[in-house]
Amino acid sequence: MANRLQQQTTAFLTAPIAFLAVAAILVVLGSLIIGARETDRFALQRQRATIAHAIRQHGHALARELRVQTVWAEAYEKTRARDQTWMHAFYGAYLCGLFGYDRIYVLSGDDTPVYAFADGHDVSPAGFAQIGSGIKDLVSAVRNPGAAPAKYDVITTPIALGDGQSARHRAVADVRNVLGMPATVVVSTIVPDRRPPTLFDSPPFLLIAIEDLDKRFTKQLGANFGFGDLRWIKDHPEVQTSTEVVKALNGADVGTLGWRKDQPGWQFVHRVTAGLALALLLLAALAAVLVRWGRRQARQILKSEADARHAARTDALTGLPNRVALNEALPNMIEQAKWSASTLGILSIDLDQFKEINDDFGHAVGDAVLIAVGKRLQAVLGQNAVLARLAGDDFMALVPGAGADGAAELAADIVTVLAEPIDLADGRRVFVAGSVAYALAPRDGGSADDLVRRVELSLAKAKESGGGAAVAFVPEMDLELSRRRALESALRSAVANDSIGAAYQPLLDPTGRHVLGVEALARWTDPQLGSISPEVFIPLAEETGLIPKIGERMLRLAVADGLSWPGIAVAVNVSAAQIHHGDVVSVVRDVLGTSRFPAARLEIEITESVLLADEKRANEQIKELQRLGVKVALDDFGSGYSSLLYLRKFGFDKLKIDRSFIDDIGQSDDSTVILASVIRLGLDLKMTITAEGIETPEQHRWLTNSGCHQLQGFLFSPPLTAQQMSAFLDAHRPLAAAAG
């Protein structure tokens, strides 16, 4: 009887528990199934929206990218002149070769094609007829944006031309099916960025740039957003494929994108169902014993994990998030800004000359300064911003909702607050300054890598300006970097192929009739880039370490040409890098030995910057050159510090007066008095005095009366080729030859 009652009691107690357990499992499984379906449906909707948004933003990015090539006075004039050579170089070859466009067309004001480029070469503009009807609405939208539907989103930019005149640049982008291939089409007006000699009233010419949305694009799009096997589908898709029909603004079907179907809901169900059922059964049996212990252990584990995650993502010195935390937060905040149609400000802050604080006061003071800077930045940025210390004295801030004006104001406030002195606990006061750069997402980039790279480009500009400045990213910085890389690559090839040439500008006697010497000047003409100014490629050569090779080539060219000009001195410029990081004396000795060129006719010209970098090294090199019999001239005197000590200390043979003094002759009494004093001082030191940059007869007369020995400038002759110089020498015989 007792056993039976125990059984009944047990059954009475266990039946409801079993029923509740089964019901709970069914409820959970049902919820999982419903949740899985909804999750999969929402995931598909989001993926489709992401694809449409990405393709649209790609078109807008291309439209902004082309603004540099279409807001350009030279482009405005050359296209209207139908200059096929120019359009090939700067539209066809440049845009397709450097930026990856597949087809380029230029339309006249009446929409007649005047230029076409495809498949890597110029093609007949008549071929535009094959695609013209398919993009007619885009051309009309740019021509008459007021009549176009709002969804075309024509980008209109006012351009100031000067003298109170202005122009409007318009561009529109869309995805279209071009010759059977999905492609992004950008239609942009070609307008000047300054008032040209002739401003036409006719409709503007148009640039049409087409980029195929090929396998490479779809593969990159899929990689960026996590779409497996993203591709264009021509036939019926497989069962396990998600699809999205891509449509143009005019409603036409462009193509169908397919990708491997992602079912996160069902994947989650498959993974957790068995474990969940087992866990429910185990929990029903062990709940009474383990619930309290489990809760305690769970709390400890969660706390340990939270502490570990916090430590891995926190800067130990300032308590701010570190680079790891920023890298995790930035992509999510960018996506949030995109989805909410908002903006995200990215500010990069770098302390100017922070190393000097560590060197002067020690690292303990440097650490205290970093902590104080972090607190100041947090106070300026507010609670909604994410401020991180990346490394050393580099900080970065993410500010949701910050537009262009807001980011500019924040950057200026940061520069101001960092300039305030920092009072340390021991009573010492430290002064620090900072440079700030900023960019906006998604305007300046849709990925974290692009935004960080571009804001760092802006920070480099801020540092170049001397620090203590706030600089915004502008697309021209990317273009400038691309051009610099292209220029650097071309320069390396030119140096390797000995393509750097020489021109010569004569130095004449005070009468201007007799040549006393020539100065060798580096010249470079690239087959693709055209003629490059020395003011551009010489600084680049110094930055990239190519200047010693260029300097040696110029020296060899100059003495080789100079052998055919008896009695004429040949002057060659030497850079600071050749003096301080090479052995210019050995190079000169070798060139003189192999060429048999008289050392007395060779002049080496150096600037004051060479002396400022390392006086001892410079003095040693100058003396060694003079021991070889070579004359050494101080070039561009007056453009730098112009220390009179140099004239006495280094024993120069010649003094070349910078053209900045020459330009002021007759205009500034102070400059004229200083110039006369410099000439008199050089004469007293028994130096040869050369004036460069002479362009007017008045300058010629004044310098002749002041006692200058040699004159140089466009008044007498521009730089000439070696052959032209030989002819010039025949017409302006040296003094010795003239006397004979």
The pLDDT assigned to 740 comes to 34
- 254 contact partners, CB below 8 Å, separation of at least 6: 175, 176, 177, 182, 246, 247, 248
Whether 642 has a pLDDT exceeding 60, the answer reads no
- What values do phi and psi take at 211, rounded to 5? -120, 115
Residue 431 sits in the same domain as residue 539: no
Whether 346 and 466 map to the same domain: the answer is: yes
- The CATH number assigned to the domain holding 505 equals 3.20.20.450
Do residues 101 and 230 both lie within one domain? no
pLDDT band at 13 (very low <50, low <70, confident <90, very high): very low
Residue 88 lies in a domain: yes
Looking at the fold, whether 196 and 339 belong to one and the same domain comes out as no
Written in H, E and C, the secondary structure of 198-266 is CCCCCCCCEEEEEEECCHHHHHHHHHHHCCCCCEEECCCCCCCEEEEEEECCCCCEEEEEEEECCCHHH
Do 230 and 205 belong to one domain?
Answer: no
| Residue 352 bridge partners (DSSP) | 433
Q: What is the arithmetic mean of pLDDT over 340-365?
A: 85
Q: Which range, 291-305, 349-363, 514-528, is most confident?
A: 514-528
Structural domain contains residue 312: no
In this structure, is residue 438 part of a structural domain?
yes
Residue at 484 is within a domain: no
Tokens of 607: 């600037």
User: Which tokens is 671 given?
Assistant: 């400059």
- Do 460 and 540 lie in one domain? The reply is no
Please check whether residues 391 and 252 belong to one and the same domain. Answer: no
* 706 and 601 belong to one structural domain: yes
Same domain assignment for residues 457 and 520:
no
Q: Distance between CA 221 and CA 272 in Å, rounded? A: 31
On whether residue 353 sits in a domain, the answer given is yes
**pLDDT at res. 672:** 77
Q: ∠ CA 685-687-693 to the nearest 5 degrees?
A: 130
Q: The domain containing residue 512 runs over which residues?
A: 500-739
Whether 305 has a pLDDT exceeding 60, the answer reads yes
Handedness of CA 350, 470, 65, 80 (dihedral sign): negative
Lowest mean pLDDT among 200-214, 218-232, 419-433: 218-232
The verdict on whether omega for the bond into residue 718 sits within 30 degrees of 0, i.e. cis, is no
* pTM of the full structure: 0.48
Is 104 inside a domain boundary?
A: yes
Q: Tell me what percent of the residues of the chain surpass a pLDDT of 70.
A: 84
pLDDT at position 9: 45
What does the pLDDT average to over 559-573? 92
Number of domains composing the chain: 4
Domain end point (choices 205, 229, 260): 260
Residues 190 and 334 in one domain: no
Residue 213 has pLDDT above 80, yes or no: yes
pLDDT band at 289 (very low <50, low <70, confident <90, very high): low
* Digit-coded pLDDT (tens) for 84-134: 999 998 999 899 988 889 999 999 989 999 999 998 899 999 989 899 888
pLDDT at 561: 93
CA 39 to centroid of chain Cα atoms: 41
The pLDDT of 698-720, averaged and rounded, is 91
Contact 630, 574 (CB under 8 A): no
The number of helices, as runs of H, and strands, as runs of E, in the chain is 27, 26
In the predicted model, is pLDDT for residue 578 greater than 90?
Answer: no
pLDDT band at 571 (very low <50, low <70, confident <90, very high): very high
Residue that is last in its domain, among 429, 458, 473 = 473
Average pLDDT across the chain, whole number: 82
Judged against a pLDDT cut of 80, whether residue 600 lies above it is answered with yes
State which of 436, 454, 473 marks the end of a domain.
473
- Kindly state whether residue 309 falls inside one of the protein's structural domains: no
Query: In whole angstroms, what separates CA 469 from the centre of its chain?
Result: 18
Q: What are phi and psi of 680, to 5 degrees?
A: -65, -40
Q: Are the C-beta atoms of residues 606 and 579 closer than 8 Å to each other? A: yes
Sheet with 103-107, strands from edge to edge, namely 121-122, 113-118, 103-107, 206-212, 181-189, 165-178, 155-162
> Quick one: 531 and 411 in the same domain?
no
The CATH number of the domain where 153 resides is what? 3.30.450
List of residues 6+ apart from 211 with CB closer than 8 A: 62, 100, 101, 102, 183, 184, 186, 217
Domain check: are 625 and 542 in the same one? yes
Any residues with CB less than 8 A from the CB of 366 and at least 6 apart, and which?
Answer: 354, 357, 358
Token pair for residue 379? 């106070």
114 in a structural domain: yes
Task: Out of 157-171, 206-220, 700-714, pick the least confident.
Answer: 206-220
Q: What is d(CA 644, CA 179) in angstroms, rounded to the nearest whole number?
A: 72
